[in-house]
Amino acid sequence: MITIKYFGMLAEHTQCSEEQMDFKPLTLSELVQDLKVKYQLNSASFHVALNHKLIQDSEDITLQLQDEIALLPPFSGG
């Protein structure tokens, strides 16, 4: 299983803060593309974190079992 978490306006938009998916050997960018289609996220601005680390270039990363992916809108603490 892999876990996908959504925060802030993305959790509001997807009406979901966390979901689990069966593991498939996708790249991280393929997964994100699937999620963009599933939730119509093309106009949204967000960063992707994999296992708590921000990922800039997700094309060369293949998902592993137990990975935790998070879609993070712009940060606005403080």
Partner 1 sequence: MKKKTVFIEGAISPSFISDSIAKHQSKHTIGGHNIFLGQVRADEVEGKTVAAIDFTAYEDMALEQIAEIREKAFKTFNLTCMHIYHSLGKIKAGEICFFVFVSAKHSKEVYAATEYLVNIIKNKVPIFGKEIFEDNTHQWKTNIK
Q: Applying CB under 8 A, which residues contact partner 1?
A: 5, 7-9, 11, 49, 52-53, 70, 72-78
CB 73 → partner 1: shortest distance, Å? Answer: 6
Cα 36 to Cα 48: distance, rounded to the nearest angstrom: 12
Phi and psi, residue 67, nearest 5°: -65, 150
CB 12 → partner 1: shortest distance, Å? Answer: 8
Name the residue nearer to partner 1 (CB basis): 25 or 70.
70
Name the residue nearer to partner 1 (CB basis): 31 or 50.
50
Burial of 29 (0-12, 13-18, 19+ CB in 10 A): middle
CB 50 → partner 1: shortest distance, Å? Answer: 10
